[in-house]
Amino acid sequence: MSNSIPGTRASQSDLINIPRLISSFFTLKPDLSVPTQRISFGTSGHRGKALAKSFNEDHILAVTQAVCDYRKDAGITGPLFLAQDTHALSTPAHITALQILVANEVETLVADDSGYVTTPQVSFAILEYNKHNVAKADGIIITPSHNPPDDGGFKYNPVHGGPADETITKWIENRANEILANGLKGIRRVSHEETFDSSFVTMYDYATPYAKALTQIVDIELIEKSGIKIGVDPMGGASLALYEKIGELYDMNMEIVNPVIDPAFSFMTLDHDCKIRMDCSSPYAMASLVSLKDSYDIAFGNDADSDRHGIVTPTGGLMNPNHYLSVAIWYLFTHRPQWSKGLGIGKTLVSSAMIDRVAADLGIKVVEVPVGFKWFVHGLTEGTLGFGGEESAGASFLRFDGSVWSTDKDGIILNLLAAEMLARLGKDPSQLYAELEAKYGRSYYKRIDAAASAEQKAAIKSVNPEALALDTLVGEKVESILTHASGNGAAIGGLKVIAANGWFALRPSGTEDIYKIYAESFIGEEHLSQIIDEAKELVKGLLG
């Protein structure tokens, strides 16, 4: 039994057996009678484990063929940007996917150094290509994001550059499972040798165009002139090469503190549950960088595909993601003079109400949506949202001129924005958040997982707010009970209860016998605990 402790460096016993993992990817076959072994797209694509028969070669063969079939059905004829992160399963999945794409005669753009590519680079590349070409491009990112080293993941970003919506993912999911059920009939595949000799494969420089364009969204010159000392931890992820390129192009006082790629992620400190997890919003996973906070004026990290950000300051250590989102919104909407006055703020319904208080004071409309970055794609593309962000440390925003940058989460620009704030204002984001709290009140926020039966989960998902006898929340009048997001009317898949100084939201897990409680109080810790207790009692009462 492991004696591991959260926040301490992983020991040998915590590391995965990579040869066994890769072997399992190729040799184990899914049993489609087991729901968890089928292709299933969540908020960020299909994820699974080779040893659990939920992310194996058959899955990649089927889902990549399904993407090819979808492209044909949708009339997508431009190139496909194919990327992978540094997880051990990403490389074999990348090779397998490429064999299918070539066989289907899809022009595929892969990293010119056979290296790793971040999610925001793919979104950026799709949008840049589609600005100038009639035949539109799309992309696949092979990544399980921040999840443990034995996980695999597969994301599809269609021509708008962001996460595919449910209509598209359901089409691909159904087609992929049909292929699996038919014993992989309908798969078109070429050999490994044919793949890399194919005219359908083009080597592409993902890093340079993205890095050069950063001056259009972050004040790089200001950061250079300030001389502030910056520490960067790619956490063994795909952002390493990108930060190296940024270091080549710009004269920033920036140091990469952990320039290591290791698919076992042996350098990581253990997360709260003693698992290795590249979660840049976790103080346990980020313990190494936090320990260096006094060595830098600002420091930041990213997860394996860099769609998330983690900000570390000398004054506050690792920032709570909700705190940084609030500061970023306040800063952007007060320091982007070219932005249209009509721009809104996109937030997920479980993000902090501090955002609402900041927005109300600035006179800016908040568009509250269900969980999932896909809900911000249209607003960012059309230039109606200046910012879209999730409570899980993922966000993107517009360029200086108000045009779209990315339609997926971009942890790189959120990190560099923290440096811009410090360079301009002489205060780090933790200090700026303290000023927001002094003005708008202190937020107490928590998310917990609680056990739930299948019946309770179904009841949460289908609850009728009019049937609830819920007039008060910890003594305060309930202002609203939502089952659909106020910003776009989309179903929450649960409910949210709001009072003047607190709220909670309930969402059932799609894969586990749990439900998630998100809660926030602007009164205190005891009030927050009482909100959570009332949320739990509500769930108990849903079944009578």
Residues with catalytic function: 145
Map 103-125 to HEC letters. Answer: HCCCCEEEECCCCCCCHHHHHHH
Residue 218, C-beta contacts closer than 8 angstroms, at least 6 positions apart: 413, 416, 417, 419, 420
Instruction: Output the CA angle 123-126-129, nearest 5 degrees.
Output: 145
- The partner residues of 449 in beta bridges, in order of sequence, read 516
Q: Is 205 exposed, middle or buried (0-12, 13-18, 19+ CB in 10 A)?
A: middle
Q: Which residues are CB-contacts of 502 (< 8 A; sequence separation ≥ 6)?
A: 473, 474, 476, 519, 520, 521, 522, 523, 527, 528, 531
User: Cα(441)–Cα(355) distance, rounded to whole angstroms?
Assistant: 12
Residue 329, classified by CB atoms within 10 Å of its CB into exposed (0-12), middle (13-18) or buried (19+), is buried
CA 478, chain centre distance (Å): 32
DSSP 422-472: HHHHS--HHHHHHHHHHHH---EEEEEEEE--HHHHHHHHT--GGG----E
Quick check: helix, strand or coil at residue 17?
coil
Residue type for 443, please?
A: S
Element (H, E) at 394: strand 394-397
- Per-residue tokens: 374: 């896909």
CA-CA distances (angstroms) from residue 501 to 366, 444, 477?
Answer: 18, 10, 10
Residue 182, C-beta contacts closer than 8 angstroms, at least 6 positions apart: none
Long-range contacts of 522-530 (CB under 8 A, 24+ apart): 522/353, 522/441, 522/442, 522/443, 522/444, 523/444, 524/444, 525/444, 527/444, 527/474, 527/501, 527/502, 528/444, 528/445, 528/446, 528/502, 530/474
Taking residue 87's Cβ as centre, other Cβ atoms within 10 Å add up to 30
Residue 217: strand, helix, or coil: coil
d(CA 352, CA 250): 35
Q: What is the DSSP string of 258-309?
A: -----TT-TTPBP-TTS-----TT-TTTTHHHHTTGGG-SEEEEE-TTS-SE
Task: Tell me the one-letter amino acid at 305.
Answer: D
492 touches 504 (CB < 8 A): no
- For 28, 50, 137, 145, the CA distances from 53, given in Å and listed in that order, are 6, 5, 31, 19
Q: How far apart are CA 535 and CA 301, in angstroms?
A: 34
Query: Are 491 and 484 contacting, i.e. CB atoms less than 8 angstroms apart?
Result: yes
